[in-house]
Structure 1
Amino acid sequence: MPLTRIFAEAFGVLTICLVALLILLGLVCIGYTFYLHSRVLRQGYIQLSYFSGPWIVRITFVLFTIWWGFGEIIRLNFLRRQGVLNALNLKWQENVCKCYIVSNLGFAEPCLFLTLVFLLRAPLQNIDTGILSRKWNGKTAGCVLLFCLPLFVLHLFLILIGPELREVRRELLPYFTRVAAPGIQNSDDIALCTYPLLNTILLGLFATVLTAYLLWLGRRILKLVINKGLQKRVYTLIFSVSTLLPLRVLLLGLSVLSKPEQFLFEALAFSAFLVQLCCAGVCIVILVYCPVADCLALGNLNDLEARRRVVLDDHNDTASLIANQGHLEGSVAMSPERNSDASTKRGSISFRTFVRDETSAGAFVELSLFSPSRDGSPPGSPTRVGWPMRSPTGP
C-alpha cells in the first residue's frame, strides 16, 4: 500500500472517531436540555423560563452539528476503498460527493452558524416577542431555513451546471467545478471527493458576512454583560467563530493544489475538518451545555422568587431596596441552616428585570448557585454567570 494511502486511511479513521465524540457530546446536551425544560414545566420555575426558553433552537443547533458530522464521514475516501460505498458504481459515488457538497457546505454549515447568530441575538430582543414568547422557537427555526435557502440553491446550481460550465468556458480550470477525482481500487474505478473552488468561494463570502456581523453583534452583547464569567464566554465564542470559520475556508481553498490521497490534500482536508469540529464543539459547550448546567445548579428557588418580588416591588425606591437586602442578609446570618447553604455558594446568575411601563434600566436580580463542594468561595468574590434581559422598549 502506498504511504500516501496509509495517511489517507489514518485521517479517515481519526475523523470517524472525532465525529463520534462530537455526536456523543451533542446527545448529552440534548438530554440535559430536555431534562431542564421538563423540570421547568413540571415544577413551575418561573425564574428559569427565560434561560430554558430557546430549548428547541438549542436542540436544532446540536442536530445541525450531528448532520454535519455524518456528512464528513460520508465524504471520506476511506469508505470508498474499505466501506460500503465501494459497492456503488462510479456514477453513484460521484453523486454521493455532490450530495456532500450541497448538504454540508450548502446547508448544514450555513444553518449551523445562522442558528448561532439567532441564539446570540435573543437577549437583545424584546421580552414579549423574544425568548419568553411561545412562538420564538418556531419563528427562529423558520428564519434559519429561509436565510439558508439562497445559499443552498446557489451551491446546488454550481454543482448541477459544473460540467456544462466547463464546456462553455474552456479556460476554466477543472478544480473550479470538480467534485470528484478518479481513483483505482482493485482494477475498479472509484470517485474520490474533492472541494470545488467555486463552492468554496461561495462559502468564503458567507463566512465574511457572518464574521463581520458577529463582531458587530458581539460588541453590542458585551455592553450588556454584567459579570466577568459571561464576558469570557462571549469573547471565546466570538473569537472562535471569527477565526476558525475563515481558516476552514482557506484550508478548503488550498486543497485544490493537490489531488485526493496525496499527503497535502489529506492534511488540508483533515485540518479543515478539525477546525470546524473545534468551532462546533466550542459553540455547543457555550450555547447549549453551559446555560443548562447553570440553571440545573440553581438551588433554594423559593428564596429566589422572594428576592425577585422584592426587587420588582421596590425598584423605584433605592433606599428601601438596600434595606430589604440587608434584612435578607441578616436573616441568613441568624439561621444555621442558611449559613450552611451560604458557605457552599459558588456564584450567581444575574440578569436585568424590567417593569413593562418602565422606560429606565431595571435592577439586577441575583439567582444563587449552590455547589455540593464543601469549600465555599471567598467572601466578596462570587463568580457570576448569566445573561441580561432586555427592556421591551429597548432596541
Structure 2
Amino acid sequence: MPLTRYSAEAFGVLTICLVGLLVLLGLVCIGYTLYLRSRVLKQGFILLSYFSGPWIIRITFILFTIWWGFGEIIRLNYIRRPGRVLNVLDFKWQENVCKFYIVSNLGFAEPCLFLTLVFLLRASLQNIDTGILSRKWNGKTASCVLLFALPMFVLQLFLILIGPELREDRKELPLYFTRTARSMQNSNDIALCSYPLLNTILLGLFTTVLTAYLIWLGRRILKLVINKGLQKRVYTLIFSVSSLLPLRVLLLGLSVLSRPEHFLFEALAFSAFLVLLCCAGVCIVILVYCPVADCLALGNLNDLEARRRVILDDQNDTASLIANQTHLDESIGISPERNSDASTKRGSISFRTFIRDEPSSGPFVELSLFSPSRDENPSGSPPPVGWPMMSSPTHVHGP
C-alpha cells in the first residue's frame, strides 16, 4: 500500500515532535542533576553525595538518548523529499547518510544506551567505598561502556562495508539482508533508508543477552529493596526494558516485508521508534529524575529543619524570659545569685517541656540525619535505617 503525501508528512512531523520532547526532558534532567551536584558541593550535604555520585553517567545516558533521537530524524523520508533538507544531496550521499544512521544508531547509540543502563543498575549492588562514592567510578564506568560497545560498533560497520561485496558473491541472498537504502519509485535521485536484516539480527542478539542480564540484575536488586516505592520503580524499569527492547528488534525485522515508500514499512519503523522512545523516557525518569528529585526533597527537609530549630530557639528564649520575669515578681526577697539560678532552672524546664510536648514521630528526628554540620555516627552506633553503611564487615558486590 503506497504512502500518501499526508501520511508520510504525518509520520515525519510526529517523529520530530517526539524527539523534541525527549530532548527537552533530557535537558531538564541534566539541569536538575547539575543543580543537585552544586548543592551537594556548596552546602556540604556529605551523606547525599551517595545519591549524586553517578551524576556524570546519568548525564552521559541522556546524551546518548539525544544522539539516538537525532539519528532517528535523519533517516526520515520526510526530510528527503523535494525541497527538504537532504534533497540537496545526490543519491550516493543520501545512501551514505543511511549507512551512517545504521552504524551510529544500531551500532553505537543503542548499545551505549543499554550498557549505561546496566551500569547504573549495577552500581546499587557495588561496594560503596569503591563504587559510586569513588572519584574514579564515573570515569571507569564511561570507559567500560565505550569498551563494551566497541565490538558491536565494529561488527555493524563491517556488515555495512562488506554489504555490496556480499551481494555480488552470494546471488541467492535476498537484497534486504544487506541493503541500507532504496531509490524512490518516481525519483531515482532520492534514497530512502531501510533496515538491513543482518544488522537487525546482530542487534537482536546483543539485546537478548543484555535483556537476560538485566532481568537477573533486577532480581538481585529487588531482594535488597525494602521500600515499596523503590520496588515499583525497579519493577517498572525491568518490565519496560525486557519487553520494549525485544519488541523494537522484532518490528525492525518485520520492516523488510515492505518497501520504505509503503505504509506498512513506515508504520513498523515508526512503531519501533516509538517503542524505544518510551523505553528511554521511562529510564530517564526512573534513573535520573526520580533520584535527583528525592535528593532535592531531602535537602528541602534539611532547610525546613534549620528554620524549625531557629523558631524553637526563639520560642525557648521567649519562654525563658517569661518564666524568669514571673519568678522575679514572686520572689523579691531572694538573693540575686539564687534568683538567677532558679530562673535559669525554670527556664530550662519550660524548654524541655515544650520539646516533650512536640510529637515524637515525624520528620523532625529524621531530618537531623541530613544536617550538613552533622558528623558521622559514633563508632559502634548503627547507621540510620534505610541509609547505606559507609563501612561494614560484609559488602554486597556486583556481578
SS of residue in 2 equivalent to 1:189:
strand
What letter matches 1:59 in structure 2? I
Alpha carbons 2:103, 2:156 under 8 Å: kept: yes
Partner of 2:230: 230
Partner of 1:160: 161
Q: Distance in 1 between matches of 2:227 and 2:168?
A: 59
Correspondence 1:365 to 2:385? yes
Correspondence 1:55 to 2:29? no
TM-score (norm 1): 0.80
TM-score (norm 2): 0.79
SS of residue in 1 equivalent to 2:250:
helix
Partner of 1:334: 357
Alpha carbons 1:125, 1:390 under 8 Å: kept: no
Alpha carbons 1:124, 1:390 under 8 Å: kept: no
Distance 1:304 1:146, change over 3 A: farther
What letter matches 1:160 in structure 2? L
Q: Distance in 2 between matches of 1:3 and 1:67?
A: 28
Q: Distance in 2 between matches of 1:389 and 1:232?
A: 26
The alpha carbon displacement at 1:301 in A equals 3.3
Distance 1:363 1:136, change over 3 A: same
Partner of 1:175: 176
The alpha carbon displacement at 1:332 in A equals 6.4
Distance 1:162 1:126, change over 3 A: same
Q: Distance in 2 between matches of 1:389 and 1:271?
A: 46
Alpha carbons 1:62, 1:284 under 8 Å: kept: yes
What letter matches 2:92 in structure 1? K
Distance 1:290 1:169, change over 3 A: same
What letter matches 1:334 in structure 2? D
Distance 1:13 1:226, change over 3 A: same
Aligned residue runs from structure 1 range 15-54, under 5 A: 15-54=15-54
The alpha carbon displacement at 1:366 in A equals 5.3
SS of residue in 1 equivalent to 2:4:
helix
Alpha carbons 1:4, 1:261 under 8 Å: kept: no
Partner of 1:294: 294
Alpha carbons 1:106, 1:152 under 8 Å: kept: yes
Percent of residue pairs identical: 76
Partner of 2:285: 285
Partner of 2:210: 210
What letter matches 1:88 in structure 2? L
The alpha carbon displacement at 1:66 in A equals 0.2
Aligned structure 1 segments of 4 or more residues deviating by more than 2 angstroms: 2-6, 299-305, 330-336, 338-342, 362-367, 387-395
Distance 1:243 1:333, change over 3 A: farther
The alpha carbon displacement at 1:83 in A equals 1.9
SS of residue in 2 equivalent to 1:190:
strand
What letter matches 1:57 in structure 2? I
Distance 1:170 1:278, change over 3 A: same
The alpha carbon displacement at 1:341 in A equals 6.6
Alpha carbons 1:211, 1:241 under 8 Å: kept: yes
Q: Distance in 1 between matches of 2:363 and 2:218?
A: 36
Partner of 2:99: 98
Correspondence 1:115 to 2:139? no
Alpha carbons 1:64, 1:112 under 8 Å: kept: yes
Q: Distance in 2 between matches of 1:58 and 1:211?
A: 20
Partner of 1:327: none
The alpha carbon displacement at 1:84 in A equals 1.2
Is there any run of 5+ residues in structure 1 with no aligned partner, and where?
Answer: 306-329, 368-386
The alpha carbon displacement at 1:40 in A equals 0.2
The alpha carbon displacement at 1:127 in A equals 1.4
Q: Distance in 1 between matches of 2:245 and 2:48?
A: 33
Q: Deviations over 1:164-207 (max 9, x none)?
A: 0111111110000000011156x552100000000000000011
Distance 1:159 1:3, change over 3 A: closer
Alpha carbons 2:129, 2:390 under 8 Å: kept: no
SS of residue in 2 equivalent to 1:68:
helix
Alpha carbons 1:332, 1:339 under 8 Å: kept: no
Distance 1:331 1:181, change over 3 A: farther
What letter matches 1:365 in structure 2? V
Partner of 2:346: none
Q: Distance in 1 between matches of 2:158 and 2:40?
A: 45
The alpha carbon displacement at 1:41 in A equals 0.3
Partner of 2:189: 189
SS of residue in 2 equivalent to 1:46:
coil
Alpha carbons 2:383, 2:389 under 8 Å: kept: no
CA RMSD of aligned residues (A): 3.0
Q: Distance in 2 between matches of 1:333 and 1:284?
A: 44
Distance 1:225 1:332, change over 3 A: farther
Q: Distance in 2 between matches of 1:277 and 1:11?
A: 15
Q: Distance in 2 between matches of 1:74 and 1:331?
A: 67
Q: Distance in 2 between matches of 1:199 and 1:145?
A: 19
Alpha carbons 1:207, 1:245 under 8 Å: kept: yes
Q: Distance in 1 between matches of 2:389 and 2:18?
A: 35
Q: Distance in 2 between matches of 1:142 and 1:29?
A: 23
SS of residue in 2 equivalent to 1:131:
coil
Is there any run of 5+ residues in structure 2 with no aligned partner, and where?
Answer: 307-352, 371-375
Alpha carbons 2:3, 2:262 under 8 Å: kept: no
Alpha carbons 2:61, 2:116 under 8 Å: kept: yes
Range with greater deviation from structure 2 (73-82 or 226-235):
73-82
What letter matches 1:128 in structure 2? D
